[in-house]
């Protein structure tokens, strides 16, 4: 990453002026490029964007998300996907094409409160996003613990090419399913490992804006639990 | 946004499994309330005020004291009214508009606990019999909701009333006139404290969190006074209690309540 | 009531106001962002003796559905006073005054918030006045824009609030309760400091054209001072040394 130093900005703050393209979370006001959100400014190759430090999750096609079943009709389930929109999971996604609302029992498959790993199929914002649970790594989640972080800290948790999350998983003997929506399921055979993995995730959530985050997490993971 | 009241299945299983081992998700004992902190005087312009923080549940209680015309049948007594509302800032499920039944229940249980204990000697709050009495209004505002609002409102109310100052009034031409800068102590007779217990999978736990609240089968709120007597009760939820459970709950309430009462006394 | 305006000296011979301030001085303002656990964004503001908690929820589902807009998210605001926030206990039901203030604050924030990205949703801003001491609408507006930024709602600018007014024949900044009761005019202003646009403006009282000009001028100056405190609150929360809370 080249370009200008990243700066802390808040809504309304001028990031730079001149001939730049205003990209994510910025607007052009006269000659100035202005931030619309609290975050880190990133001026790069003639374009300006702000990496947000707060805010909700907006569904995008192909995102993996963790959802919580909140209700169902005779044709679909709705899942809370930690967003301003609920995920719609069609009954046919689970029962197949010859699904019949009279003979198939939906709650036997998925009941209120069940957690699922799902993928966003279609998020065009004109209606609630369509999700699927058929596919590799998708489906109902039967074990582990749900952890919630700010959705915009997910990239930080994953790290460069997955380095951060791999470090956490291998040193705590745990598995973490990461939803792009900020919901994670952490599981481990070892209760101490589970606890430590959750603590490491919480540390990233709190310290996402600092530079030496990897060192801090590493230090935490290597310290002996009492 | 996510509805905190649907508890996810993994959390539900975890809570139930742990209870069978004698443990709770947050590491507390069954008879252990969350950490309670009380700050009084947070609303300096009110005659009394307290902020109670029970775990992550937070309530601000403010006491206003002002002269009132007494009710026709109780002209020899002052007036005491407690209310409670869940502010919409407190939780995504909290609603604006007319109070829903759970909020009305919260307000009434809070009021009953204070009133039935005889916390204030109402006979001492009369300015002129049948004409003018002192009204004490204790309004509770829930600002953050992490379960068990009953107890948080009970503690905030008791602390705020206990710490309030009663302005002095003089009757002039049959009308009460406030004497600026002069106050008396409130006529406190006892400190009522409620303890709410949830029944989950046959186990009884004190001071349920919002997650425990979301999966409980039944609950009971028992208010006790400084003498260790039971002064108000409220059973809720869709299951019942056995006689043995109720006796155990009352003992728990008195035991836990006496520790809470010390925290309230210290706060003044 | 009655008669109480005679025993307060609003402005003494040295140009000092009843609470010790100079004519062009605001009260002490402190703001803390991120004070509530459940809200998506929040702020606590003390503006003199005003104490206000603001919580933001959303973007989220709109109930009732017919209020939603398929082209954009909508902003909803509620300004509400606790019964114990004022001298005489306030009836808990919303008053006409609270309904009007909610509306003017909403319209003061709308030019700043950008909700096009969130069609069919609502952003709810709840302002809870715990203690009132004159100038609550400006204080609530100021806290609300910090809470919105804390929630990550995209905004063109923050909105800062501060009133100007007239008491004892002098133009003054940030009118307190006594000055509001016994003074001659109160002119609350909401202002976007970077875009230099006034988004809330009301007036109670009589001003000459010259005084009107002066009020707006020092009011904007007050808003700029308040803006610095808003900025600091967000910086402290997001870019501080990293300790929790």
Q: Does A15 touch chain C (CB under 8 A)?
A: no
Q: Tokens 């046919």 belong to which residue? A: A92
Residue C132 lies in domain? 29-237
Residues 140-169 of A with CB under 8 A from C: 152
Q: What is the dihedral of CA A48, A51, A57, A61, to 10 degrees?
A: 50
Closest CA to C84 of B151, B57, B156: B156
- Residue A43 per-residue DSSP state: E
What are the φ/ψ torsions at residue A150 (nearest 5 degrees)? -70, 130
For residue C70, which residues of chain A lie inside 8 Å, CB to CB?
126
CA pair distance B228, B250, nearest whole angstrom: 10
> What tens digit of pLDDT does each residue of B47-91 get?
999 999 999 999 999 999 999 999 889 999 999 999 999 999 999
Q: Does C91 touch chain B (CB under 8 A)?
A: no
Q: What per-residue confidence (pLDDT) applies to A207?
A: 82
> What tens digit of pLDDT does each residue of C108-127 get?
999 999 999 999 999 999 99
Contact C154 A86 (CB under 8 A): no
The secondary element (H helix, E strand) that includes residue B131 is none
Task: Give the helix ranges, DSSP H, for chain B.
Answer: 9-20, 101-116, 149-162, 210-215, 243-267
Contact B44 C60 (CB under 8 A): no
Chain B contact probe: residue of A58, A66, A68 with most B CBs at under 10 A: A68
A83 and A41 together in one domain: no
Q: Which of C83, C124, C131 sits opposite B137 (nearest CB)?
A: C83
Interface of B with A (CB under 8 A): 1-3, 6-12, 14
A152 and A126 together in one domain: no
- Residues of chain B with pLDDT > 90, as a percent, come to 94
Where would I find the beta strands (DSSP E) of B145-255? 166-172, 175-184, 193-200, 203-206, 218-224, 230-236
Instruction: State the total domains in chain B.
Output: 1
> What tens digit of pLDDT does each residue of B28-44 get?
999 999 999 999 999 99
Q: Which residue of C has its CA nearest to A35?
A: C156
- Residues of chain C with pLDDT > 90, as a percent, come to 89
Instruction: State the total domains in chain A.
Output: 3
Task: Decide if A10 contacts C231 (C-beta within 8 A).
Answer: yes
Mean pLDDT for chain C overall: 93
Q: What per-residue confidence (pLDDT) applies to B184?
A: 96
Where would I find the beta strands (DSSP E) of A149-222? 174-178, 183-188
Q: Does C128 touch chain B (CB under 8 A)?
A: yes
Work out the minimum CA distance from C238 to partner chain B, whole angstroms. Answer: 21
Q: Which of B3, B9, B14 sits opposite A114 (nearest CB)?
A: B9
Q: What is the mean pLDDT of residues C1-24?
A: 79
Kindly indicate the confidence band of residue A4, based on its pLDDT and cuts at 50, 70 and 90: low
> What tens digit of pLDDT does each residue of A6-39 get?
899 999 999 999 999 999 999 999 999 999 999 9
- Residue C85 per-residue DSSP state: G
Residue B250 lies in domain? 2-267
Structure ipTM: 0.92
A 10 A CB-CB count for C15 gives 13
Contact A10 C118 (CB under 8 A): no
Contact C53 B143 (CB under 8 A): yes
Q: Which of A34, A54, A84 sits opposite C60 (nearest CB)?
A: A84
Contact A86 C152 (CB under 8 A): no
Contact A38 C114 (CB under 8 A): no
CA pair distance C131, C126, nearest whole angstrom: 15
Position with higher pLDDT, A95 vs B79: B79
Residue C245 lies in a domain: no
A78 and A131 together in one domain: yes
Task: Decide if B236 contacts B116 (C-beta within 8 A).
Answer: no
Contact B8 A143 (CB under 8 A): no
Q: What is the mean pLDDT of residues B234-250?
A: 96
Closest CA to A81 of A127, A10, A129, A42: A129
Mean pLDDT for chain A overall: 91
Kindly indicate the confidence band of residue B1, based on its pLDDT and cuts at 50, 70 and 90: very low
Residue C3 lies in a domain: no
CA pair distance C185, B265, nearest whole angstrom: 46
Instruction: State the total domains in chain C.
Output: 1
**Chains near A (3 or more Cβ pairs under 8 Å):** B, C
CA pair distance B11, C120, nearest whole angstrom: 31
Q: What is the mean pLDDT of residues B152-161?
A: 98
Contact B14 A185 (CB under 8 A): no
* CATH code for position A96: 2.40.50.140
Residue C245 pLDDT > 80? no
Where a domain ends, among A141, A163, A196?
Answer: A141
Residue A27 lies in a domain: yes
* CATH code for position A41: 2.40.50.100
Residue A226 pLDDT > 70? no
> What tens digit of pLDDT does each residue of B128-156 get?
999 999 999 999 999 999 999 999 999 99
Residue C1 pLDDT > 90? no
A113 and A154 together in one domain: no
Residue C3 pLDDT > 80? no
Q: Which of A27, A37, A206 sits opposite C152 (nearest CB)?
A: A37
Structural tokens at position C180: 């509001």
Residue C1 lies in a domain: no
Q: What per-residue confidence (pLDDT) applies to B177?
A: 94
**Residue B114 falls in which region: left (phi positive, over 0), alpha (psi -120 to 50) or beta:** alpha
Work out the minimum CA distance from B64 to partner chain A, whole angstroms. Answer: 39
Q: What per-residue confidence (pLDDT) applies to A6?
A: 84
Q: What is the mean pLDDT of residues A157-170?
A: 94
Q: What pTM was computed for the model?
A: 0.93
Q: Does B56 touch chain C (CB under 8 A)?
A: yes
Contact B6 A141 (CB under 8 A): no
Work out the minimum CA distance from C119 to partner chain B, whole angstroms. Answer: 14
Contact B6 A113 (CB under 8 A): yes
Residue A111 lies in a domain: yes
Q: What per-residue confidence (pLDDT) applies to C6?
A: 53
Chain B contact probe: residue of C84, C129, C147 with most B CBs at under 10 A: C84
Chain A contact probe: residue of C57, C154, C223 with most A CBs at under 10 A: C154
Residue C19 lies in a domain: no
Residue C179 pLDDT > 90? yes
Residue A142 pLDDT > 60? yes
Q: Which residue of C has its CA nearest to A57?
A: C59
* CATH code for position C210: 3.30.230.70
Residue A102 lies in domain? 64-141
Contact A25 C154 (CB under 8 A): yes
> What tens digit of pLDDT does each residue of A176-209 get?
999 999 999 999 999 899 999 999 999 998 887 7
Q: Which of B139, B141, B144 sits opposite C36 (nearest CB)?
A: B144
Contact C36 B43 (CB under 8 A): no
Residue C4 lies in a domain: no
Q: What per-residue confidence (pLDDT) applies to A224?
A: 64
Q: Does C98 touch chain B (CB under 8 A)?
A: no
Q: Which residue of C has its CA nearest to B91?
A: C38
* CATH code for position B186: 3.30.230.70
A157 and A121 together in one domain: no
> What tens digit of pLDDT does each residue of C180-228 get?
999 999 999 999 999 999 999 999 999 999 999 999 999 999 999 999 9
């Amino acid at each position: 990453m080249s370009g200008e130093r990243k700066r802390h900005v808040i809504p309304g703050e001028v990031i730079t002026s001149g001939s730049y393209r205003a990209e994510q979370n910025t607007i052009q006001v006269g000659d100035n490029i202005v931030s619309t959100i609290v975050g880190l400014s990133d001026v790069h190759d003639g374009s300006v964007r702000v990496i947000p430090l707060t805010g909700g999750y907006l569904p995008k096609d192909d995102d993996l998300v963790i959802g919580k079943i909140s209700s169902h009709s005779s044709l679909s389930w709705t899942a809370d996907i930690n967003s301003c929109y609920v995920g719609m999971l069609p009954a046919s996604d689970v029962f197949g094409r010859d699904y019949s609302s009279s003979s198939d029992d939906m709650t036997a498959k998925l009941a209120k409160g069940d957690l699922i790993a799902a993928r966003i199929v279609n998020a065009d914002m004109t209606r609630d996003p369509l999700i699927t649970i058929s596919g590799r790594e998708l489906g109902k989640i039967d074990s582990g613990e749900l952890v919630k972080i700010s959705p915009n800290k997910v990239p930080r948790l994953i790290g460069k090419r997955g380095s951060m999350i791999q470090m956490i998983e291998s040193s705590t003997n745990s598995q973490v399913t990461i939803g792009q929506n900020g919901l994670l399921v952490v599981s481990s055979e070892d209760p101490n490992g589970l606890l430590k993995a959750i603590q490491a995730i919480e540390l990233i959530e709190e310290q996402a804006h600092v530079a030496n985050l990897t060192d801090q997490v590493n230090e935490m993971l290597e310290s002996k639990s009492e | 946004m996510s509805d905190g009241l649907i508890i996810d299945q993994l959390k539900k299983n975890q809570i139930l499994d742990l209870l069978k081992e004698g443990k709770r998700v947050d590491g507390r004992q069954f008879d252990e309330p969350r950490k309670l902190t009380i700050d009084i005087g947070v609303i300096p312009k009110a005659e009394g005020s307290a902020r109670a923080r029970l775990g992550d549940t937070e309530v601000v209680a403010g006491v206003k004291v002002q002269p009132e015309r007494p009710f026709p049948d109780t002209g020899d007594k002052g007036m005491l009214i407690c209310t409670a509302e869940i502010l919409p800032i407190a939780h995504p499920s909290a609603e604006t508009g007319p109070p829903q039944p759970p909020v009305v229940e919260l307000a009434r249980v809070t009021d009953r606990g204070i009133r039935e204990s005889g916390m204030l000697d109402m006979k001492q709050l009369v300015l002129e019999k049948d004409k003018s009495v002192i009204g004490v209004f204790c309004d509770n505002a829930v600002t953050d909701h992490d379960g068990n609002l009953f107890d948080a409102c009970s503690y905030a109310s008791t602390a705020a009333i206990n710490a309030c100052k009663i302005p002095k009034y003089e009757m002039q031409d049959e009308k009460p006139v406030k004497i600026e800068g002069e106050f008396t102590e409130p006529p406190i007779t006892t400190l009522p404290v409620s303890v709410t217990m949830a029944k989950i999978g046959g186990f009884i736990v004190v001071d349920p969190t919002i997650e425990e609240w979301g999966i409980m089968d039944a609950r009971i709120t028992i208010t006790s006074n400084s003498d260790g007597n039971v002064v108000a009760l409220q059973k809720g939820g869709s299951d019942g209690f056995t006689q043995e459970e109720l006796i155990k709950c009352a003992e728990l309430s008195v035991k836990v309540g006496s520790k809470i009462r010390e925290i309230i006394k210290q706060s003044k | 009531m009655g008669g109480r305006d005679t025993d307060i000296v609003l402005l003494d011979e040295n140009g000092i106001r009843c609470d010790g301030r100079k004519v062009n001085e605001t009260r002490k303002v402190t703001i803390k962002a991120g004070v509530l656990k459940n809200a998506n964004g929040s702020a606590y503001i003390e503006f003199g003796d005003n104490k206000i908690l603001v919580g933001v929820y959303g973007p989220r589902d709109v109930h009732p559905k017919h209020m939603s807009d398929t082209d954009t998210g909508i902003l909803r605001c509620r300004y509400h006073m606790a019964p114990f926030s004022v001298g005489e206990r306030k009836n808990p039901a919303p008053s006409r005054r609270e309904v009007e203030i909610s509306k003017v604050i909403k319209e003061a924030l709308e030019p700043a918030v950008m909700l096009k990205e969130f069609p069919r949703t609502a952003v709810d801003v709840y302002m809870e006045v715990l203690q009132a001491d004159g100038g609550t609408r400006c204080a609530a507006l100021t806290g609300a824009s910090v809470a919105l930024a804390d929630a990550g709602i995209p905004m063109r600018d923050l909105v800062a609030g501060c009133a100007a007014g007239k008491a004892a024949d002098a133009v003054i900044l940030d009118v307190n309760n006594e000055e509001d009761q016994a003074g001659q005019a109160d002119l609350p202003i909401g202002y976007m400091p970077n875009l230099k646009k006034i988004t809330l403006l009301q007036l109670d009282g009589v001003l000459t054209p010259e005084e009107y000009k002066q009020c707006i001028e020092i009011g904007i100056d007050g808003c700029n001072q308040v803006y610095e405190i808003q900025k600091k609150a967000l910086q402290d929360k997001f870019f501080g040394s990293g300790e929790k809370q």
